Structure 1
Amino acid sequence: MRILLAGATGAIGRPLTRLLSSAGHEVLALSRNDRSASIARDLGARPVMADAMDRDGLLRAVDGMSADAVIHELTALKAPKRRLTPDDPSTRLRVEGTAHLLEAAKALGADRFVTQSLILGYGYADHGSRVFTEDDPFGVKHGNPGDIVVDGLVSTEEQVLAAGGVALRYGVFHGPGTWFDPAAGSRPTPVPRGGGGTVPWVHVDDAAAATVAALERGRGGQAYNIVERRHATWGERERALRVPGWILRLMVPYLGTLMLDTTLRASGDKAERELGWSPRV
């Protein structure tokens, strides 16, 4: 397949580009600047110079081109903002960016679309021992800073599923290029002393493998939980700097909601059953 990949140079995008290329697919990497275009070439992809947030520029860039599929892996998560607002860059990428990429998919003649969602869309709250499946309500808000993230996740899912695409609800990422990267520099990620809440996780290499599986075998109009079988607290992750919870909440209220207030478990059985994927980590 020929695939337009938005987010090819991100934490998931890099291993995903390599996997797609090694599987014989041709990757067209959406690139905003020369630096990302150069990285895309090094990964074996062909750059397409455009910004997903610039609708007209994106449609001009793909005019006259064709592709079989579009994958949306765009986020803006390099550094957590102290307070999330409705114009949060990642939320806008999930709302407006998704709409623009769906238009691009139509112009390309692509009949497959896969979008990045997150397991946290089940709601930022203490869900106790309940294990969520794809049949449970998604997008439930609890009146806290996480609601802005939920809004973006619901938007990208609703748009893509209505168009017959696939939504992947990834666990919290760890591995190269993430906040929890054993090979990173000297600044570990702050986590609450005592470990914080339990959440589903997924290594970026496993997330990339699941994305290829969803592209090739996912059923249109379906969402899949992409998680490891074992859940873990924040304090169990590599490169964690343990700080008192009240300091974390004061520094970045959203991280307080995420790491202190949220306990969430989810099953990846559907993805393992239908996609033929299973986590290696």
Structure 2
Amino acid sequence: MTTNGKSHRILLAGAGGVLGRHVARALTEAGHKVTGLGRGPEDDIRADLMDRDALLRAVDGQHFDTVIHAATALRKAPMRHRDMDATDALRTEGTAHLLEAARATGARRFVAESMVFGYGYGDHGDRVLAEDDGFGPRGTDPSRERHIAAVRAKERLTLASPGLEGIALRFGLLYGPGGTDGLLPLLRKRQLPVPHDRGRVLPWVELGDAARAVVAAVERGRPGQAYNIADPTPLGFRAHLLRVAETFGLPQPMAVPLWLMRPMSYAHDVMSTTLRVSTAKAERELGWIPVHPDARDGLAAMRAGTR
């Protein structure tokens, strides 16, 4: 039974992705009817968000109450700035096309995956950022600006789309079943060197908790609003990998100087960022509190096969 007593017919773009699979399961368990949209053979509706005409043909005659945008072009962790190009395009053109499809199906609500890096890469110090704290500042170089501009555009399109109740969820870094798994072979072979954190921390959120936030946004989100979604324990990138290695009994990742990461330009920008966010608004308005308060707890649940 849904927490608000109403079952939604939901079109989920990106249902076959890492986050999408968790979202589909959480929505179904909450009593909603989910139709998957994507390019994979497992999707209920086959369409590419970048092909507007094909997308509109694919949803012709369909009706949904809510559309969720959780689509990504990433199949592995991005290392260089160019690895984000296809996902940046999905955030701009793909979002515009999906919004058009949502209106064509009679949907009233549109929930979009956003990300905390929309607050900007770099050192934010000890300040804890809330949703009204300068989201989408201009990037400090062309590559960073390209990524931030794409997130900025996705939120602008989502929150100001005529005729739709737009909601954006600004996720921390995602980990857990389906996401962390890909790191384990690299850690086992010591093929994942990372620099010391030197006081740098980032927001994290376990995939199941992220999916529960999507359910909460579908059922209780306030139209036109964005919400930070992260656990209360920010952690440096290396510190997180040390938790993974400890939990799964693997060797610690090799430590390297931060400058050595520069050829992996996107990973360098992520690992050199310090960022903390407040989730008070999500707790207050969505009733969302993560089941896993930190990565150690979430990773232990992953190893035990629980959620």
TM-score (norm 1): 0.89
- 2-structure distance, mates of 1:7, 1:73: 5
SS of equivalent residue, structure 1 residue 199: coil
User: What is the identity, as a one-letter code, of the residue corresponding to 1:249?
Assistant: R
Residues 1:167 and 1:2: Cα distance change in structure 2 (over 3 Å): same
Q: In structure 2, give the amino acid aligned to 1:247.
A: L
Count of residues in correspondence between the two structures: 267
The change in CA–CA distance for 1:242 and 1:146 in structure 2 (over 3 A counts) is: farther
Report matched runs for 1:66-85 at 5 Å.
66-85=63-82
Aligned to 1:272: 283
The equivalent residue for 2:85 is 88
Contact 1:5–1:72 (Cα < 8 Å) also in 2: yes
Instruction: Check if 1:101 corresponds to 2:98.
Output: yes
> Offset of 1:86 from its aligned partner?
10
Residue among 118, 121, 129 paired with 1:121: 118
Q: Look up the SS of the partner of 1:229 in the other structure.
A: coil
Aligned partner letter, 1:66: H
Identity %: 46
Q: 1:33 and 2:34 equivalent?
A: no
Structure 2: runs of 5+ lacking an equivalent = 1-7, 246-251, 293-307
**2:62 maps to 1:65:** yes
Task: Within 5 Å, give how 1:154-165 maps onto structure 2.
Answer: 154-163=152-161, 164-165=165-166
Q: For residue 304 of structure 2, what is the aligned residue in structure 1?
A: none
**Paired position in structure 2 for 1:40:** none
Q: With the length of structure 2 as denominator, give the TM-score of the two structures.
A: 0.82
1:117-154 CA deviation, whole Å, 9 max, x = no partner?
Answer: 00110010101101100111111134233322211110
Q: Residue type of the partner of 1:16?
A: V
Q: Secondary structure at the match of 1:91?
A: helix
TM-superposed CA distance for 1:206, in Å, is: 0.5
Q: CA deviation at 1:85?
A: 4.4
Q: Partner amino acid for 2:213?
A: A
1:23 match: 30
SS of equivalent residue, structure 1 residue 17: helix
Decide whether the 8 Å contact of 1:224 with 1:271 is kept in 2. Answer: yes
* Structure 2 residue identity aligned to 1:30: L
Q: Which string of whole-angstrom CA distances, capped at 9 and with x for unpartnered residues, describes residues 83-115 of structure 1?
A: 424980110010011001000100100000000
Equivalent residue, structure 1, for 2:144: 146
Distance 1:33 1:18 in 2: 17
2:303 maps to which residue?
none
Residue 53 of structure 1 and its aligned partner are, at CA, apart by: 1.2
CA 1:270/1:279 → structure 2, altered by over 3 Å: closer, same or farther?
same
Q: CA deviation at 1:67?
A: 0.4
SS of residue matched to 1:127: strand
Query: What is the aligned partner in structure 1 of residue 305 from structure 2?
Result: none
In structure 1, give the amino acid aligned to 2:270: L
Report the residue type matching 1:149 in the other structure.
Answer: H
* CA distance in structure 2 between the aligned counterparts of 1:247 and 1:232, rounded to whole angstroms: 21
Match of 2:185 in 1: 186
Give deviations 1:43-91, integer Å, cap 9, x for gaps: xxxx111111111111001101100000000112223455424980110
Q: Which moved more, 1:137-146 or 1:220-229?
A: 137-146
- The Cα of 1:184 is off from its aligned counterpart by 5.4
Question: Over aligned residue pairs, what C-alpha RMSD do you find?
Answer: 1.9
In structure 2, what is the equivalent of residue 249 of structure 1?
262
Contact 1:191 1:234 in 2 (8 A): no
User: Could you tell me how far apart the structure 2 residues matched to 1:184 and 1:81 are?
Assistant: 13
Residue in 1 that maps onto 2:237: 234
The answer to which of 89-98 and 137-146 deviates more is 137-146
Q: Matches of 1:48 and 1:267 in 2, distance apart?
A: 36
